[in-house]
Structure 1
Amino acid sequence: MSAPAAVPRLTPVAETTAARDWLAATHAAVDRALHAFLDAKRLSGEPGAGGPAAPVDALRAFLGGPGKRVRPLFCRIGWRAVSDGPPDPRLADIGVGLELLHGHALVHDDVVDRSALRRGRPTVHRACAAQRGGDAWYGISAAVLLGDLAALWADECFQRLHEPGVPAAARTQLGLMRQELLTGQLLDLAEPSEPFGTVEEAFAVIDAKTVAYTVRGPLLIGAAMAGADRAGTDALAGYARSLGEAFQLQDDLEDVTAADTGGEDLREGKRTAVVALAAEAGTAAQRATMARLLGRPGLTDAELAELRAVLTATGAVARVRAMVLERRRAALDTAARGPFTGTGRALLTAMTDRALPGVADWEENAA
């Protein structure tokens, strides 16, 4: 594994630039470590139908493609937030494990959701099906097994947490994170209490899936490895809730507002906070349009545009934008006031806007 990237020295004048440089350097280090791991794991075999290389290469392409790498970044920030000491070199392996666990979750999530695309690219089960002439059952079966393989590889990396000198709290945080991820996925499958779900139900899924395993779990694993005390752990958990909720709400918004996305969540009929708020505030006619189009098989681009227009007209988009801004401010406040190292405060602040691209501009435009 590559050694953790060196942290540029942070000064009061240049702390923002230095923190951004640290994030960029660490992102690059995570990419190198992940690609080295995947290259070492490539199975032998001739490409083609029935050979093991083709589906494993599909998994490698999925895992090794462009990514934000937020979980490994948060893990290392968790360490830096509570310690000025040299980072534990095992953080590199833990970061690769977090990316592999994320890949496992996405591969299985796409099967559960019957998703054709993930950020504009074919999902693993679709890519595998194409390797067998469109055999959908083979694609699903291969994706389930490949998702399990990614989880197995993640466990291999997480063995570093069992080595001498690693606090037991780090292993506890990993177990909690994985449990909450699975709980959130089950909640996502639950029958909503209302036709379009409720805001409370949407946030239950967000808190279990996105908050727990995107922000809080990685942060607290890194902090636990550094020997964090209760005050530091609680402050990081508060930061994680604010930022994690904002992160997912912005993602939900992009599915409704971004012209360059496929509207996958709307095509799948996901009961997000945007959808629940639109149903709450919408007229009978608007709700009828939602009922007709949300999750409709074969939704055309014109119908998708109609559905997006209705969701926006209800005021739901504006309300969710306000929620994102409120949570961004709370995350920044916690980063500034929490019992963190100076380096940690700078990195948490920089990571807030890295995780929420463009949201800082909303503040300026609203001013």
Structure 2
Amino acid sequence: MANDTLQGNRHRGIPRHGATPHSLIDAIQGTLADFLAAQIASLDAIDPELGGFARTARDLVLAGGKRLRPVFAYWGWRGVAGDAAPLEPVLPAFAALELMHTFALVHDDVMDESDTRRGRPTAHRIFASRNGHGERFGTSAAILIGDLCLVWADQLLARAQAPQGVRTCYDRMRVEAIAGQYLDVLGEAEPGTWSVERALLVARHKTASYTIQRPLQFGLALSGLAHPEIDLAYGRYGLAVGEAFQLRDDLLGVFGDPAVTGKPAGDDLRTGKPTALLMLARRLASPAQREALDPAGAVNPADGSGGSPSPDLSPADIARRAQVIAETGAPARLEAMIQERVADGVAALAGAPLHEDARAALIELAVRATHRPA
């Protein structure tokens, strides 16, 4: 296990002004490592078991990932503040978003019963295998890991020099993420009531809101400057690109390479998650294809929804369903939807009075975030 200070991940110095992508991520990683080292020491002083618990949380936070949320927040701030504004006072706020993200991932993995995340065992699997404690212990410990990360996010945010409106935006982001997650869980429980439109509603709240839209507006709030026009542009860009991000995730969940995504292929098919991809495939499917997609459940002839796949699907079953989805033409349709949303997002920035380097960075991010292999 890595040492408490994780020297290899620490930044060489906080960039005082405009940051390159690499220096920004290094600074975020270093801020997290420093903060987490202090938290581990505090819990270690109470009981060594708590120190080990906190080290597991730290390893999950620092295990990698795209760091998209703090990056979008940074460019949301930079688009208004400009490249002369010092980064250090607001850096803890950006890093706090990564702790919030870890909270969401850990709980999401528990709900989805996922085995891996970022190519490593998920939190509940780590704890279940520890000293042979079993699945119930693993689930309980993972829930507490997620809770701890959410508390840590609040603590780290409090270290930033943040205007009052920042907390309002942060709280809204958290509520929307939880609301979207509940709708996601509800969809798995009631697949017969779901549709493409309902799946997109989940995408807007579970993913678009807390991945892109609200982080951008969070960054704007950190600037302390009122820019209604930029706020509106960020909102439109964030929803469009955020939906496209989730649609790409839907495709990767079925057709992605586990060696690249770090997650098992077909998890969404195994759980019967009613993603936009699956809902669209059902809508486009022939009767025979619908039966292949939902052999265990009834199909709603109005929109093709319905059925709940068995959790005991074999790899061959999952591969067959993926093939049927491809044959319906749903993946190609989803690709077109991604392109449309990226174009809409870029267009939303066109007339906004942003600093040009931020506009260019957000255009590039719109493409990178939605055309990715993992």
Q: TM-score range by the shorter chain?
A: 0.7 to 0.9
User: 2:139 — aligned with what?
Assistant: 140
Q: Partner amino acid for 2:50? A: P
How is 1:166-185 mapped onto 2 (pairs within 5 angstroms)?
Answer: 166-185=162-181
Moved more, 327-336 or 178-187: 327-336
SS at match of 1:309: helix
Determine if contact 1:268/1:296 at 8 Å carries over to the other structure: yes
Quote how far apart the aligned CAs of 1:99 are: 0.5
Deviation, 1:4, is: 4.8
Name the structure 2 match of 1:15: none
Alignment of 1:44-59 (within 5 A): 44=44, 51-59=49-57
Distance 2:283 2:319 in 1: 20
Q: Deviations over 1:58-113 (max 9, x none)?
A: 22221110110011111111111122241452321012211011111111111122
Is residue 184–residue 206 contact of structure 1 (8 Å, CA) maintained in 2? yes
Cα distance in 2 for partners of 1:224, 1:125 equals 35
Match among 21, 24, 29 for residue 22 of structure 2: 24
In the alignment, what sits opposite 2:91?
92
With normalisation by structure 1, the TM-score equals: 0.86
* 2: CA distance, partners of 1:336 / 1:133: 57
**Paired residue for 2:207?**
210
**Structure 1 stretch displaced more, 286-295 or 234-243:** 286-295
The secondary structure found in structure 1 opposite 2:257 is: coil
Could you tell me which runs of 5 or more consecutive residues in structure 1 were left unpaired when the two chains were aligned: 9-20, 360-367
CA 1:59/1:292 → structure 2, altered by over 3 Å: closer, same or farther? farther
C-alpha distance 185-322 of structure 1, shift in aligned 2 (>3 A): same
Whether contact under 8 Å (2:16, 2:86) holds in the other structure is: no
* Residue in 2 that maps onto 1:107: 106
Mapped contact 1:286–1:310 kept (Cα < 8 A): yes
Q: What is the match of residue 16 of structure 1?
A: none
The corresponding residue for 2:194 is 197
Alignment-derived partner of residue 14 in structure 1: none
Partners of 1:6 and 1:22 within 8 A in 2: no
* Same amino acid, percent of matched pairs: 36
Contact 1:58–1:128 (Cα < 8 Å) also in 2: no
Q: How big is each residue's C-alpha offset from its partner over 1:194-245, in whole Å with a ceiling of 9 and x where there is no partner? A: 5382111111111111111111111111111211311110011111011101
Higher alpha-carbon deviation: 295-304 or 22-31: 295-304
In 2, Cα distance between equivalents of 1:196 and 1:110 = 24
Q: Which residue of 2 aligns with 1:315?
A: 329
Matching residue's letter, 2:89: R
Deviation at 1:44, TM superposition (A): 2.1
CA distance in 2, matches of 1:115, 1:45: 33
Instruction: State the distance in 2 between where 1:218 and 1:25 align.
Output: 19
- Name stretches of at least 5 consecutive residues in structure 2 with no aligned partner: 1-9, 259-263, 297-307
User: 2:284 corresponds to which residue?
Assistant: 281
Read off the aligned partner of 1:124 and give its amino acid letter.
A
Residue aligning to 1:187: 183
In the alignment, what sits opposite 2:149?
A: 150
Find the counterpart in structure 2 of residue 17 from structure 1: none
| CA separation of 1:246 and 1:5: change in aligned 2, threshold 3 A | farther
Contact preservation (8 Å) 1:232, 1:340: yes
Q: Deviations over 1:159-200 (max 9, x none)?
A: 146x5xx43222211111111111111111225765382111
CA contact (8 A) 2:17 2:86 kept: no
CA distance, structure 1, for counterparts of residue 295 and residue 133 of structure 2 = 29
| Match 1:296 to one of 310, 334, 339 | 310
Are 1:121 and 2:109 matched, yes or no? no
Task: Figure out how many residues of one structure are paired with residues of the other and give that number.
Answer: 342
